[in-house]
Chain A
Amino acid sequence: MTKKFKIVVLAKQVPDTRNVGKNAMKEDGTVNRAALPAIFNPEDMNALEQALRLKDKFPGSEVLLLTMGPSRAAEIIREGLYRGADGGVLLTDRKFAGADTLATSYALSMAIKKMQPDIIIAGRQAIDGDTAQVGPQVAEKLNLPQVTYAEDITGFEGDKLVIKRRLERGIESVKTPLPAVITVHATAPDCRPRNAKRLMKYKHSRTLTEEQDNEHNSYLPLNSADTLRIPEWGVTDVGGEEIHYGLSGSPTKVKKIENIVFQAKESKRMSSSYEEIDSLMIELISSHTIG
């Protein structure tokens, strides 16, 4: 019994919104992307680990990353390679720009059709948008079942995957036929670290765009014949109708963006002295706020 799976992991490069510093916003109220490091979306890391565990259990399986973004998002593919993935594709095209979740799902689903995987695994949501929409929308576009909020892929029985889901107030185990789309929750195990040998092997992996970029040329080894080339796919590679991509494929529009401004409120400033705290507590008790 040598079951082998072809697994595609959807991963996104996101600004690290969890570590937003004071200079995260520019004076004009727009987001200062330069001040935010670009990272591998955390729940996509959990998704990658689930894929790698399947590969451990079913040797010969193939784990491929699929990411959509600008040229620098090739970093996501390399990070995956360092941790055990076999390859990946960077979906990049100016025509993808301005995509909301629906247009993003369309582009990803077209690429997935070309890759023909048995299993598609993604993080539940990305930290820059927190929408959790792309996974289910990709599943619908591919007419596949979806299992969201997965915490663990616990088994494979009679051609079906058994998956434990983490819900708000409990757990649920489901059995799904393949192909299927699975989205992984943050409570799933963390991703394994980078492997030193793989890091040495793949650190020179480049997309064609990166190779042609003069800044990166100096990092290329003299003999790059055995270096994995990261493929870049655009609209012409994945096909589909242009109207469904990017801005024109996005039903939602951003009408307004507001920087967070706290509403002015009469705040009473107090010191931490016992006298001031004592008078506050007496006030709270007499107003029946506490007690």
Chain B
Amino acid sequence: MNNIIIYIETEGGKIADVSLELLTKGRSLAKELSCKLEALLIGNKVENLVDELFLYGAQKVYIAQDARLENYLTLPYSSITIDLFKKEKPQIALFGATSVGRDLAPRVSSALVSGLTADCTSLEIGDHKETKSGKEYKNLLYQIRPAFGGNIIATIINPDCRPQMATVREGVMKKEPLASAVKGSIANIDVTKIVKDEDFIVEIIERHIEERKIDIKGSPVIIAGGFGVGSKENFNLLFELASVLGAEVGASRAAVDAGYAEPARQIGQTGVTVRPKLYIAVGISGQIQHTAGMDQSAMIISINNDPNAPIHQIADYAIVGDLNEIIPRMIKSYKLNSK
């Protein structure tokens, strides 16, 4: 009772990275709260995934398996989740901020009349004192997220309602297995008792899920362009540098909105979060909605002709100047020096 439950998302028989990241974070939260870390796994023939959950620290795994649960469907998946949360009363429930998690979590929070915070970038445990009533709360989950287009960082709490629910984007938290798996337990959920026929009124008639083609997250070096790159043609310079360095090209939301790069390349609050060895930000002003997705990079080089661009403040090396001069010089220097 009153433990932490992580919703485990699967795709193509594999556990989503974001769920393992949440388990990793959940371990430290559970330790701080002296409670257990648990996982909810829904699907068809998914029991073989349990060992991986134990390796990431889940002490108990609730499994709901049924042939009809092969693919995610809002109604049966939410029925199972709501039923479990009502019985187990977790104090915290975390979901990936994916198209599944962002479909499921609000439905569950509405049914339980509990609060939900979307797209958190940080989760901490802390206390709270209500200024009006003077009521004190211990060990609340601080749900920290950018808001207002990323111009402010808000800390959200749910003082009175449980579970405290949050979604977190893939890549925001670190993913770290334990040295050896915990000896966890398994609890099978009797699906037929919970899920009703009317939960299947929405049918999937077609499904095409592709393997991710552009792998920005896995690239150790990223050259990212912003609106300041100026045109789709200028973006070709970034691709040229990327191919020379063996890097991947990323983009800010402004650059994607302007059509300079495809949405799969978007880095930031509403795109992917990356932490490469080297991040070269070209023509990016450095709005928080972008930097939230890259400020954990080991090294940052900013290239911007505006000396006052905020990106320069988080960069290790800030180059003020014209990208059309700078990038060809980088390519030339690399070709000369790398041999």
Q: Which residues from chain A sit less than 8 Å from chain B, CB to CB?
A: 15, 17-18, 20, 24-25, 31, 100-102, 105, 127-137, 139-141, 145-149, 162, 165, 167-177, 180, 187, 250-260, 262-272, 274, 276-278, 280-282, 284-285, 289-291
Instruction: Say yes or no for B337: interface residue by CB 8 A criterion.
Output: yes
The 6 closest A-B pairs by CB, nearest first: A17-B149, A272-B321, A251-B115, A252-B115, A170-B209, A251-B161
- Contact between chains at B329 and A137 (CB < 8 Å): no
Q: Taking the complex as formed, is B212 at the interface, i.e. its CB lies under 8 A from any CB of chain A?
A: yes
Contacts known (A254-B156, A258-B153, A290-B278); A271 close to B321, Cβ less than 8 A: yes
**In the complex, A136 Cα to B81 Cα: how many Å?**
15
Whether B202 lies near A168 (C-beta < 8 A) is: no
Partner of A269, one of B160, B318, B322: B318
Q: Which residues of A contact B329 (CB under 8 A)?
A: 272, 274, 277-278
Docked complex: B152-167 residues within 8 A CB-CB of A: 152-161
Q: Quick check: is B171 within 8 A (CB to CB) of the other chain?
A: no
Assembled-state Cα–Cα distance A169/B184 (Å) = 32
B99 pairs with A251, CB closer than 8 A: no
What is the 8 Å Cβ interface bit string for chain B, positions 236-255, against chain A (1 contact, 0 not)?
Answer: 00000000011100000010
From A132, A133, A260, contact of B152 by CB (8 A)? A260
B75: CB under 8 A from chain A? yes
Segment from B85-93, B172-180, B309-317 that makes contact with A: B309-317
Q: Which residues in B have their C-beta under 8 angstroms from that of A168?
A: 98-99
- Shortest Cβ gap from B152 to chain A (Å): 5
B115 touches A270 (CB 8 A): no
Beta-carbon contact of A268 and B115 below 8 Å: no
The answer to whether A174 touches B204, judged by C-beta atoms less than 8 angstroms apart, is yes
Q: Which residues of B contact A20 (CB under 8 A)?
A: 149, 151, 287
Does B312 contact A269, Cβ atoms closer than 8 Å? yes
Of residues 120 to 148 in B, which have CB atoms within 8 Å of A's CB atoms?
A: 128, 142-143, 147-148
Do A282 and B111 touch (CB < 8 A)? no
Residue of B143, B278, B320 touching A272 (CB-CB under 8 A):
B320
Q: Which residue of B lies closest to A131 (CB)?
A: B118
Q: Is B197 an interface residue (CB 8 A)?
A: no
Q: Which residues from 306 to 338 on chain B have a C-beta closer than 8 Å to any C-beta of chain A?
A: 310, 312-322, 325-326, 329-330, 332-334, 336-338
Contact B312 A167 (CB under 8 A): no
Is B319 a contact partner of A272 (Cβ separation < 8 A)?
A: yes
A149 near B148 with CB under 8 A, answer: no
Extra A-B contacts (19), CB below 8 Å, given A132-B118, A136-B110:
A20-B151, A31-B151, A102-B110, A105-B110, A127-B149, A133-B109, A136-B106, A145-B75, A145-B201, A149-B99, A170-B207, A174-B204, A180-B202, A253-B159, A255-B128, A259-B152, A272-B325, A285-B337, A291-B245
Task: Tell me whether B207 and A172 are in contact (CB under 8 A).
Answer: yes
Q: Could you jot down 15 A-B contacts, CB within 8 Å? A: A15-B148, A17-B149, A18-B149, A137-B107, A141-B110, A252-B157, A253-B159, A269-B320, A277-B329, A277-B330, A278-B336, A281-B337, A284-B278, A285-B334, A290-B334
Complex Cα gap A170–B204 (Å)? 14
CB distance from B128 to the nearest CB of A (A): 6
Chain B residues contacting A266 (CB-CB under 8 Å) are: 316
Is B211 part of the contact surface with A, judged by Cβ < 8 Å? yes
